Amino acid sequence: MGQQLRAEVCVVGGGPAGIVLGLLLARAGIEVVVLEKHDDFLRDFRGDTVHPSTLNLIDALGLRERFDAVPHTPLPTLDAVVNGVRLRAVDFTTLPPPNRFVTLMPQWDLLDLLASEGARHPSFHLVMGAEATDVTRGEGRVRGVRARTAEGELVVEAKAVVAADGRASAMRPALGLEPWVYGVPADVLWFRLPEPQTPMPATLGWATADAIIVTIPRPGYLQCGMIIPKGAVDATHAAGLDAFRARVSATVPPLRESAAALVSWDDIKHLSVRIERLWRWWIPGALCIGDAAHAMSPVFGVGINYAVQDAVATANALIPAFHAGGAPEAIDRAFTAVQRRRALPTALMQAMQRGVHRVIATGRGLRLLHNPPTRGERALLRLVLPLARRVMSRLVGYGFRPERLRR
Binding site for ligand FAD (CB under 6 A): 12-18, 35-38, 45-47, 49, 131-132, 164-166, 170, 190, 271, 290-292, 296, 298, 301-305, 307
Closest separation in Å from C-beta 403 to ligand FAD: 15
DSSP output for 271-313: E---EEEES--EETTEEE-GGGT-PPPSGGG-HHHHHHHHHHH
CA separation for the pair 257, 109 (Å, rounded):
30
Closest separation in Å from C-beta 376 to ligand FAD: 34
Q: Cβ distance 11 to 162 under 8 Å? A: yes
Q: Cβ distance 117 to 127 under 8 Å? A: no
Query: Cβ contacts of residue 218 below 8 Å, gap of 6+?
Result: 45, 48, 73, 104, 106, 192
CA separation for the pair 76, 91 (Å, rounded):
6
Comparison of 132 and 286: residue with beta carbon closer to ligand FAD? 132
Comparison of 236 and 350: residue with beta carbon closer to ligand FAD? 350
Comparison of 216 and 330: residue with beta carbon closer to ligand FAD? 216
CA separation for the pair 81, 298 (Å, rounded):
18
Closest separation in Å from C-beta 296 to ligand FAD: 5
Comparison of 9 and 170: residue with beta carbon closer to ligand FAD? 170
Question: What angle separates helix 328-362 from helix 303-323, to the nearest 10 degrees?
Answer: 170
Alpha helices in 7-97 (DSSP H): 16-27, 52-60, 64-68
Comparison of 82 and 273: residue with beta carbon closer to ligand FAD? 273
Q: How far apart are the first and last CA of the chain?
A: 42
CA separation for the pair 291, 120 (Å, rounded):
27
Q: What is the DSSP pairing of strand 152-163 with strand 3-12?
A: parallel
Closest separation in Å from C-beta 373 to ligand FAD: 29
Closest separation in Å from C-beta 291 to ligand FAD: 4
Report how far Cα 55 is from the mean position of its chain's Cα atoms: 15
Closest separation in Å from C-beta 7 to ligand FAD: 15
Closest separation in Å from C-beta 405 to ligand FAD: 17
- Bridge partners for 266 per DSSP: none
Closest separation in Å from C-beta 402 to ligand FAD: 14
Comparison of 119 and 379: residue with beta carbon closer to ligand FAD? 119
Report how far Cα 90 is from the mean position of its chain's Cα atoms: 18
Q: Cβ distance 158 to 8 under 8 Å? A: yes
Comparison of 95 and 296: residue with beta carbon closer to ligand FAD? 296
Comparison of 49 and 251: residue with beta carbon closer to ligand FAD? 49
Comparison of 215 and 236: residue with beta carbon closer to ligand FAD? 215
Query: Cβ contacts of residue 291 below 8 Å, gap of 6+?
Result: 15, 17, 166, 167, 169, 303, 307
Closest separation in Å from C-beta 17 to ligand FAD: 3
Comparison of 41 and 369: residue with beta carbon closer to ligand FAD? 41
Closest separation in Å from C-beta 325 to ligand FAD: 29
- CA atoms within 13 Å, Cβ hemisphere of 282: 23
